[in-house]
Structure 1
């Protein structure tokens, strides 16, 4: 083959290869890059809109309300189940239960089943017992401000007492219990305290030398000394046996306590001198109080305040009933025609202890 034909064949082959590389299937379309970008943006916008709709739908669903804590507390009471303060304790507990829809339960333990007042107050301070009803008398050992109620003959009558207790000054005394790891909730009525003895007492002179049970505080002890008697501190639950066995000759308390404890059976002479009007106090442990939120604290505080009228009404009824019963049982009731003799004898107690309560005594005088 000549050189000319060889060159022609190579040239022809090159042309074929070039045409094959540049050619293609005319039915296959080429994608526009701009169109692809636009499609991707549209899909992203659609996805974002769907997500926003889903989120909005989720936000419109009501979130379940947070369930509040439930509590079960104990309230210690010295007196019997049918005593006016115990009935008031139970009424207070019922109000708390109703207003909390059963979420807060307060069980009342009457008849000193959790201990006598002084021991219970110590447990309330420690948080071992949640609530208690106590006389303001032994409170003075835990908070000296409450000693003012032990001062003799500072109130004229029950109306005078409540004029003070429901005043700002009375409320401030309750608040002062915070320094003693207790929260004061409300006052209850306890009437007037009188002396009763196993021996006849017709005058102040008849108390001379008698061993008289008193609540444990310095003012009570000084009062007995001022009246010529011998003070014998003793738990309330031991008084009956003390009178019966002669460990003590006399005691002092109000009509309902004199009757309900049947002390009139062993000390049938009751002289109406009205030397003290010491209120009852409903208190809570600070440890218990601090676990409650503000709403529950307000609920319990208001329930305590709302139980006051109930207690006062029950007290007045029971006081009249107790007087009738002890008279019918043969107790000798001695009226005091001139209490000024007793007041004069007790004036040294005011002189010795009154100055530390001067502001409170002035407030008591102002509401007379």
Structure 2
């Protein structure tokens, strides 16, 4: 907590100071933790391609995938200090800097993808504005995907089957409480440590979208996958306010336009790939894929709303619910 206070204090000081503009060609470093083949890894490359095209080569975005620039907390701190220009990071981590953006980590929040995108592009953009004084500019939301459960111990068809399972979660209070409400034992752990932790039995399982289950090859060290679809994982495209402040109006417009186009493209790709990944996962024969009654899991996680409505804002929950068909 002390470290977080120091970081945010430095951020407030930095963003209120004038910073020199980029000289000549603008080169921006963009980091993320996914494999390059992951849909949002491909989205990052698409964004870089669009920026180069729209700027006539004046702005170059260099993408650093697979945690080359560090984990998600490292990326966010890099944005605040200006050592990293751009990043794709999860709302679960951004929520440590802007608690209300953790709204999108709540279980069973969205009706379908159309409802998800409407919510992110309206309520979500409003919730990104308080990040700016803290050193972070939100350009929009790409997609990590719909999160599901895997484990090594037993078939999980109902919440009762989750009793005492050690499930790796992000260091995020909502995810911790979500797993507790389902009867599991949540184990916060860095993403980069997860494969070996499952391999060695340090944890029994994890929860992630199909894209990570496939591209990180989690199916090799897990026996069961339950399609719980318990939460949706946006992947915000964010920028250092220091770097943003060094751009002129035209350059900023180029980035915003490229971000919108890349996000639309990436969301369509992610939706298409989700079905493909599940087919590939099942075809390995290494992991049993199980359909579940999601209403049982949704009912079990209602206490998460009672506990966190005041954190994410009941008014924000109401705004998202109002966008349902």
TM-score of the superposed pair, with normalisation by structure 1:
0.79
SS of the residue corresponding to residue 145 of structure 2 reads: coil
Q: Is residue 77 from structure 1 mapped to residue 77 from structure 2 by the alignment?
A: no
Match in the other structure for 2:291: 335
SS of the counterpart of 1:292? coil
Give SS of 2:83's match: coil
Q: How far off is 1:180 after superposition?
A: 2.4
Matches within 5 A, 1:24-173: 69-167=24-122, 169-173=123-127
CA contact (8 A) 1:84 1:318 kept: yes
Structure 1 position 244 matched with structure 2 position 199: yes
Deviations along 1:34-56, one digit per CA (max 9) or x if unpaired, are xxxxxxxxxxxxxxxxxxxxxxx
2:133 aligned with 1:198: no
Task: Give the Cα separation in 2 of the matches to 1:74 and 1:68.
Answer: 16
Rounded Cα–Cα distance in structure 2 between residues aligned with 1:302 and 1:117: 25
SS in 2 for 1:153: coil
Match of 1:186 among 128, 135, 140: 140
Whether the 8 Å CA contact 2:121–2:140 is kept in 1: the answer is no
1:299 to 2:254 alignment: yes
Encode CA deviations 1:213-236: one digit per residue, 9 max, x unaligned: 111111111111111111111111
Match in the other structure for 2:318:
362
Distance 2:107 2:38 in 1: 25
Larger Rg: 1
Match of 1:31 in 2: none
Q: Which residue is 1:324 aligned to?
A: 279
Q: Give the SS at the match of 1:189.
A: strand
SS in 1 for 2:130: helix
Higher relative contact order (CA 8 A, sep 6+): 2
Asked whether the equivalents of residues 198 and 269 of structure 1 are also in contact (C-alpha less than 8 Å), the reply is yes
SS in 1 for 2:114: helix
- Counterparts of residues 189-338 of structure 1 (less than 5 Å): 189-200=143-154, 201-330=156-285, 331-337=287-293
Q: Distance in 1 between matches of 2:111 and 2:265?
A: 23
Hey, what's the Cα distance between the residues in 2 that align with 1:309 and 1:303? 10
Aligned to 1:129, what secondary structure does the other structure show?
coil
Q: Does structure 1 retain, via aligned residues, the 8 Å contact 2:101–2:128?
A: no
Secondary structure in 1 matching 2:69? coil
Structure 2 spans left out of the alignment, 5+ residues: 1-21
Tell me if the contact between 2:27 and 2:60 (Cα under 8 Å) persists in the aligned partners: yes
What's the CA shift for 1:196?
0.6
Residues 93 and 106, structure 1, Cα contact 8 Å, conserved in 2: yes
Count of paired positions: 300
Aligned equivalent of 1:177: 131
Aligned equivalents of 1:84, 1:342: Cα separation in 2: 27
**Using the alignment, how far apart are the partners of 2:39 and 2:223 within structure 1?**
23
8 Å Cα contact 1:158/1:191 also seen in 2: no
**Per-residue deviation, 1:317:** 2.4
Give the match's secondary structure for 2:88.
strand
Matches of 1:172 and 1:187, distance apart in 2: 12
Distance across 2 between alignment mates of 1:248 and 1:121: 27
Q: Distance in 2 between matches of 1:278 and 1:180?
A: 23
Gapped regions of structure 1 (runs ≥ 5): 1-66
State the superposition RMSD in angstroms: 1.5
Structure 1: distance between partners of 2:74 and 2:168: 18
Matches of 1:81 and 1:223, distance apart in 2: 30
Q: How far did residue 68 of structure 1 move?
A: 7.2
TM-score normalised by length of structure 2: 0.89
